[in-house]
């Protein structure tokens, strides 16, 4: 069985995404008269725009003018409705006016419906008092096609639009590439990139990098006042979320036990929004008892009978504190809990017994942040 060649460009989108993209760009073209886009998209937009204009040229005169009577509110010189008192109540004064309207003939009405299937609804928002809904106005693009665009091309058989090349467009990674100097850059279509990553890239950019030289625990903790120890957290999403919260909420360094997820895991990096590159971190081979030699007191986040509330004043007063977060399922081991200087819990309400480790970490980072220092 022979397969016919595709007669349209996929534009790196699914069917519904491609349809929505082209509808929005055709709408923008009809509304504004021009758009700036890629050459591939422009060629697909031109196909649809040409069909709409052809319909408009063909049906522009297929209407009849009829006179109708309408009851409208009477307005004064300032544009406000005129009111009068009737039976002790203010009521709006109406007047009957006659106006001529264009009534579509069946073929033009059908053409209008076909146009509406392609064009999105457009609302015009004036610059003055733009935030007020009453100042907005709906724009009828089908009328614009019939009344403004079609008369311009009444004597032309097609070729209503032009594609003008305005130069190379800078891609999403242009600024990154400029900073990289002599780093080689390769290009490929989305299908090729998807085969390399086994998933569809949202931005279409891949980067291969050497891993940084691992730093020691002593090095990353040298000037730190608040650190977090990730003990056995294997879910890449949780590790990425903890790094993001740590960077945002004032944690100075992150230590990970060897049985935790690699922070440079693809998903961990993505969830952290790049925070794994912002905050210093290191693998920890010893136990939390070793942190005492670096001047840290340790706070194990665990639900035990001897735990203290996270808002206990002694915790915030510690000059150097290590917050220890356990694995998603079992939490911290009993050995780690025994070695800790504090065992800390987050008070719960509504019968909830615990939080996800990433959520609990964010709460702990904010509550146990280092006290502000004052300069003399």
In a shared domain, residues 327 and 359: yes
Q: What residue has token string 């033009």?
A: 108
**Residue-range definition of the domain harbouring residue 250:** 217-367
Cα–Cα–Cα angle for 165, 169, 174, rounded to 5 degrees: 165
| Whole-angstrom distance, CA of residue 226 vs CA of residue 315 | 11
pLDDT: which is higher, 196 or 43: 43
Does this model's pTM top 0.85? My answer is: no
Determine the angle formed by the axes of helices 15-32 and 106-118, rounding to 10 degrees: 120
SS (H, E, C) 201-228: CCCCCCCCCCCCCCCCHHHHHCCCCEEE
Please name the residues in contact with 66: beta carbons below 8 A apart, sequence gap of 6 or more. Answer: 100, 101, 103
* Mean residue pLDDT across the chain: 87
| CATH number of the domain where residue 31 is located | 3.90.1030.10
Residues 288, 336: Cα–Cα separation, whole Å: 7
What CATH number should be reported for the domain holding residue 363?
3.40.1280.10
Q: How far apart are CA 36 and CA 45, in angstroms?
A: 11
Q: Read off the tokens for 207.
A: 């980067």
pLDDT tops 80 at residue 199: no
pLDDT at 330 > cutoff 60: yes
Instruction: Answer whether residue 181 is part of any domain.
Output: no
pLDDT at res. 188: 81
Identify the weakest region by mean pLDDT among 3-7, 78-82, 111-115, 285-289: 3-7
pLDDT score for 309? 92
Pick from 37-51, 94-108, 167-181, 244-258: least confident: 167-181
Within-domain flag for 362: yes
In a domain, 351, yes or no: yes
Tell whether 162 and 14 lie within a shared domain. yes
Same domain, 99 and 246: no
Q: Name 156's Cβ contacts closer than 8 Å, sequence gap at least 6.
A: 57
- Based on the domain organization, do 225 and 333 belong to the same domain? yes
Provide the pLDDT confidence category of residue 129 given band limits of 50, 70 and 90.
low
How confident is the model over 238-297, as pLDDT tens digits?
A: 999 999 999 999 999 999 999 999 999 888 998 999 899 999 999 999 899 999 999 999
Lowest mean pLDDT among 82-96, 194-208, 287-301: 194-208
Among 336, 312, 341, 338, residue whose Cα is nearest residue 326: 336
Give me the pLDDT at residue 113, please. Answer: 95
117 with 18, same domain: the answer is: yes
Overall number of domains in the chain: 3
Q: What are the b/e assignments for 227-266, b being 16+ CB within 10 Å? A: bbbbbbbebbbbbbbbbbbbbebebbbbbbbeebbebebe
Note whether 159 and 152 are within 8 A (CB): no
pLDDT at 212: 84
Q: Which two tokens stand for residue 152?
A: 């311009």
Beta-sheet pairing, 89-92 with 83-86: antiparallel
Give CA–CA dist 310/368, Å, rounded.
8
Domain co-membership, 141 together with 227: no
Report the distance separating Cα 189 and Cα 289, nearest Å.
52
Helix, coil or strand: residue 102: strand
Q: What is the pLDDT of residue 35?
A: 93
pLDDT given at position 141: 93
Q: What SS3 string covers 117-161?
A: HHCCCEEECCCCCCCCHHHCEEECHHHHHHHHHHHHCCCCCCCCC
Whether the pLDDT of residue 5 is over 70: the answer is: no
239, two tokens: 């590790």
Residue 229: its pLDDT value, please?
95
Q: Within this chain, do residues 45 and 70 fall inside the same structural domain, yes or no?
A: no
Asked if the structure places residue 286 within a domain, the reply is: yes
Would you say residue 59 has pLDDT above 90? yes
User: By three-state DSSP, how is residue 98 classified?
Assistant: strand
pLDDT of res. 299: 93
Co-location of 340 and 360 in the same domain: yes
Is pLDDT above 60 for 375? no
Statement to judge: residues 303 and 257 lie in one domain: yes
């Amino acid at each position: 069985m022979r397969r016919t060649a595709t007669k349209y460009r996929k534009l790196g989108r699914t069917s519904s995404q491609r349809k929505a993209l082209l509808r929005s760009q055709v709408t923008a073209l009809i509304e504004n008269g021009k758009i700036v886009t890629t050459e591939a998209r422009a060629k697909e937009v031109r196909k649809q725009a040409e069909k709409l204009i052809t319909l408009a040229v063909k049906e522009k005169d297929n209407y009849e003018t009829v006179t109708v009577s309408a009851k409208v509110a009477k307005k004064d010189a300032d544009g406000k409705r005129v009111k009068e008192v009737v039976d002790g109540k203010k009521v709006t004064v109406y007047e009957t006016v006659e106006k001529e309207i264009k009534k579509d003939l069946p073929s033009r009405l059908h053409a209008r419906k076909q146009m509406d299937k392609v064009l999105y609804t457009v609302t015009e928002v004036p610059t003055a008092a733009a935030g007020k809904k009453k100042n907005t106005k709906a724009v009828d693009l089908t009328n614009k096609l019939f009344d403004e665009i079609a008369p311009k091309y009444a004597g032309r058989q097609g070729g209503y639009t032009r594609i003008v090349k305005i130069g190379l467009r800078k891609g999403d990674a242009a600024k990154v590439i400029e900073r990289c100097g002599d780093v080689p850059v390769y290009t490929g279509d989305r299908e090729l990139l998807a085969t390399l990553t086994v998933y569809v890239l949202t931005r279409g950019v891949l980067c291969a990098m050497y891993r940084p030289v691992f730093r020691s625990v002593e090095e990353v903790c040298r000037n730190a006042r608040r650190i977090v120890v990730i003990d056995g957290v294997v879910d890449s999403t949780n590790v990425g979320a903890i790094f993001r919260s740590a960077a945002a909420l004032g944690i100075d360094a992150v230590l990970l036990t060897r049985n935790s997820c690699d922070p440079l895991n693809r998903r961990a990096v993505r969830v952290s929004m790049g925070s794994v590159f912002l905050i210093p971190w290191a693998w920890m081979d010893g136990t939390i008892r070793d942190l005492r030699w670096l001047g840290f007191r340790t706070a194990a986040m665990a639900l035990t009978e001897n735990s203290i509330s996270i808002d206990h004043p002694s915790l915030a007063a510690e000059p150097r504190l290590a917050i220890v977060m356990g694995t998603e399922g079992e939490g911290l081991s009993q050995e780690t809990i025994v070695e800790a200087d504090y065992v800390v819990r987050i008070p719960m309400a509504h019968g909830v017994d615990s939080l996800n480790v990433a959520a609990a970490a964010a709460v702990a980072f904010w509550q146990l942040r280092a006290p502000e220092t004052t300069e003399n």
